Structure 1
């Protein structure tokens, strides 16, 4: 399987992936000024972008002894930062799903994405279809969702049905992180959809980055640890993986009351 893509779609014209470099950092673009991902050239396994670091906040909800266990999936490859981190640093079984083949080729040529191996599979498929496959039900411990088009305006998959399939992928105790725009009017709508599927007591968000990215964390049947335990985990993550986990802990919050009220007010379907 090495060197081949798992494909499940017909040929079409794709927005080509391009790159730029500045101050030791390589950036991925899709025919626009918007950054789709980044990698510090001398530290390819490090997570360069702040919002991508925060996509790893799921680590706070997992016991440190189980942190490296299970199957991690990324929907949307970007510059392969999370895929590299889960595969090379955490050494988890890792899968990535990316619809645009030029992104996969760019990641392998320019962003240190390794060829497939016993722990890594890159699927050149539509995430909307991939998440519906029955054989994938409850096979994933960690799911990272970062699905934007070349305009980076809003998530390309963002309805209740999609989030229900995402929850279906997760095994009991599984965790999902989603990149949303917290200062955009669409945030409340997206967060409400996630909460309706997962339950409002299983959904949290981090404060927005200065660029406006807001990471939502959703869980399937997770018991929230006591604060002392979360602080211990954060310290372990910082010391072992050089990620600002104690800062994440300060930024994590339950969903805003306005979103909870929106859920209550919506008619049940």
Structure 2
């Protein structure tokens, strides 16, 4: 851990920041990319926005878990493979003990989403799975994203943290699009640090611009998140992702 200017940072045995918390405002989402992980709210009906279960794969510094449980008052489950990260969250990042609205599981995220007992149980799934090297997602193949889609209930939404300026972004986004469908996947333009959030939906009717703007206003007023800015940053899948998707489909069809 490190601390600077009132913000406490989590590191996994490296210089890379794996999460952050403003000490005097532990429920506030401090990092910009973590705020953007909440962009799924734009695709949910305002009346149902905070209903159901939110699941985080990868606990980090617990920011999303604390926010979903405390601010949104959602039933919240976090799946984290590293017991030291869970312990650090309990001692240093204001993560409360488990209760009727919170479960923190020391389990492998890949195995958890593959367990059919968890399918159809989440309205929201936040995926942020990086190791201490922070080079690429630890779980990033089609089978994993297919299991993630299974975990979502109908109308559910997933956000994934990817590095948008990395050559791996198009490959990862294409895998997500192959599983969810190109009409159910969007991305936000990269942050200054290069984090690109991908949003994927399971059977969501795309809202009109007017509805999206109304939801953005509601999110800003109710939850103090920069949703109007998100709306300006939302894009369909870039052409290089579509091209990778078509190339992969053609290769599969030809038996390569």
TM-score interval w.r.t. the shorter chain? over 0.9
What's the counterpart of residue 154 of structure 1? 136
Deviation by residue 1:15-64 (Cα, 9 ceiling, x = unmatched): xxxx1100000000111110000000110000000000000000000011
What's the counterpart of residue 117 of structure 1? 99
Q: 2:7 aligns with which of 19, 25, 28?
A: 25
Q: 2:219 aligns with which of 229, 237, 245?
A: 237
Q: CA deviation at 1:96?
A: 0.1
What's the counterpart of residue 194 of structure 2? 212
Q: CA deviation at 1:261?
A: 2.1
Q: 1:145 aligns with which of 107, 127, 133?
A: 127
Cα distance in 2, alignment partners of residues 268 and 135 from structure 1? 31
Q: Does 1:173 align with 2:174?
A: no
Q: CA deviation at 1:134?
A: 1.1
Q: Does 1:255 align with 2:246?
A: no
- TM superposition score normalised by structure 2: 0.97
Cα distance in 1, alignment partners of residues 11 and 242 from structure 2? 36
Q: CA deviation at 1:258?
A: 1.8
- TM superposition score normalised by structure 1: 0.92
What's the counterpart of residue 73 of structure 1? 55
What's the counterpart of residue 42 of structure 1? 24
Q: Does 1:94 align with 2:87?
A: no
Unaligned runs of 5+ in 1: 1-18
Question: How many residues are treated as equivalent by the alignment?
Answer: 251
Q: CA deviation at 1:80?
A: 0.2
Q: CA deviation at 1:265?
A: 2.2
What's the counterpart of residue 252 of structure 2? 268
Deviation by residue 1:168-221 (Cα, 9 ceiling, x = unmatched): 000100000000000000000000000000001100000000000000000000
Deviation by residue 1:64-92 (Cα, 9 ceiling, x = unmatched): 11111000000000000000000000000
Cα distance in 2, alignment partners of residues 183 and 262 from structure 1? 16
1:131 is paired with a residue of what secondary structure?
helix
Aligned-residue CA RMSD in angstroms? 0.7
Deviation by residue 1:130-181 (Cα, 9 ceiling, x = unmatched): 1111111111100000000011111000000000000000010000000000
Q: CA deviation at 1:268?
A: 3.4
